[in-house]
Amino acid sequence: MHRPIGEQENGAGYGPVLPPFRPHPPHGEIPGGPWADAGGSPDPGRVDPLVLGALLARHGWQRRGGAAGRYSRWTPPGSGGISGTSLLVPESRAFPDCEDLLGEALTALQHSAAPSAREVLVGLTVPSDEIRWWRDVPPGPAGTVPWTVQEQLRSAARQLLLAGALAVRGRAGYYGARHRRQAQASLEAVVVGAAPGGRGLTAFVPVDSGRAIAVRLYHALYAAREAADYQRATGGMEAFDAAVEAGVSRELTEALVALVRGTEGARIALEWAPAAGTPAGCAARPEPVEFSAGDLPALREASARYMTDEPSVPVRITGAVVRMRRSGPRGEGTVRLRVLGGAEVPHVRVTLDEESYRTAGHAHLVGLPIRVVGRLESRGGFRRLTDATGVVPVQVDEAERDRLMKSLHENLDFFEEACGPGE
């Protein structure tokens, strides 16, 4: 698939994994949002009939007549209009009985057995961009997909969303541990639902907190598709280098490998929240992006290339000592720091000479963090600081100092083991 006509150009798992997706809400339970009433259900007084109609059409409901200019009638996918739920949706809020009809339609959706009814209600309650994954895998008994295969899909989807959230924080070929906490936090509001049969998955990404992630994934996926096409046609990797600016990274290519591996193909589609409209620089109705087993060599080569080429980063880190270790009572030792500032990573390990090691130990004993200058090394996933110099204690406020002292008393075994006689 290629970039849609009219689109403007825009300039697996590493470290801790994402917490599990919030599951698709069960029958009768819709997450609260700005369009919800006190019970968490969509508020008929705030639902836009045009948005409801757009969501029904997106999820396969059929429009089957109605009173022209006043209201339309919708039936669930596959019903043929003969039986099942039938919704009357007003054409606009100018219709006299608009709120009554909307209330009846929402109640019918809440009681509908159609899986798509829940997705429509989620889209109404919390305006969300929808990201859909689908994998072509052999069916199991009765046409279902084995649990392990479904877990592979969920894991790949988590990795892909995390890659998009990381790209929002800044462009890099390889992030490692950098920005991971912030990226994970930005995904906490995502709601997910599995398609019948287990081959598909849909993530509802709230517009308020996650539109930037959806937009970044949109550009990154098309850039990855074009780069893979270029590599397969020419053997060159230059397109993957340029794709970093669009949000492609080792994390994203590894997520795509995990999505495609073991399948005959995979597809990712994005659909924008009707209530929020189309974001700037994006196609109104993006075509799905498809990857196949033939793309795996290019994606794997790009993944290795990103990790190798990403340079180490000069930093000046302020951190609290949480562990110290060395082989004897003298000489250099290794210190683990909880990063307080200077780098977007939670912890780093650093090897210090004897004098700097002693300074770090003394600073911790009195409840002070240290400041150290060095290079955040990419080969360790940006978890190791090399060429460390200038280790000095840093003054902090009393509350932070008390907290650090409490941490010391709770972990005295680290320092009884690490500090030799005379330290």
Average pLDDT over residues 372-380: 91
Q: Which residue has the higher pLDDT, 278 or 3?
A: 278
Residue 118 is predicted with a pLDDT of 85
The neighbouring-strand residues paired with 201 are: 133, 194
Residue 59 has pLDDT above 80, yes or no: yes
- Distance, in Å, from the CA atom of 243 to the CA atom of 218, rounded to the nearest integer, reads 12
pLDDT single digits (tens) 382-395: 999 999 999 999 88
Average pLDDT over residues 354-362: 92
At 161, the pLDDT band (50, 70, 90 cuts) reads: very high
Residue 296 has pLDDT above 80, yes or no: yes
Residue 27 is predicted with a pLDDT of 40
What is the average pLDDT value for the chain, to the nearest integer? 82
Amino acid, single-letter form, for residue 81: G
Q: What is the dihedral of CA 190, 196, 200, 203, to 10 degrees?
A: -10
* Residue carrying structure tokens 């877990």: 151
- Distance, in Å, from the CA atom of 249 to the CA atom of 373, rounded to the nearest integer, reads 27
Helix (H) and strand (E) counts in the chain: 12, 14
Strands 347-352 and 333-341: antiparallel
Residue 79 is predicted with a pLDDT of 63
What percent of the chain has a predicted confidence (pLDDT) above 70?
A: 81
Least confident of 99-108, 367-376, 401-410: 401-410
Residue 238 has pLDDT above 60, yes or no: yes
Residue 80 is predicted with a pLDDT of 58
Residue 16 is predicted with a pLDDT of 36
Residue 254 is predicted with a pLDDT of 97
Residue 71 is predicted with a pLDDT of 77
Q: Which residue has the higher pLDDT, 176 or 114?
A: 176
Residue 4 has pLDDT above 60, yes or no: no
Residue 353 is predicted with a pLDDT of 93
pLDDT single digits (tens) 241-290: 999 999 999 999 999 999 999 999 999 999 999 988 999 999 999 999 99
Strands 289-291 and 313-325: unpaired
- Distance, in Å, from the CA atom of 81 to the CA atom of 250, rounded to the nearest integer, reads 48
> Cα 156–120–140 angle (5° rounding)?
45
Residue 19 is predicted with a pLDDT of 44
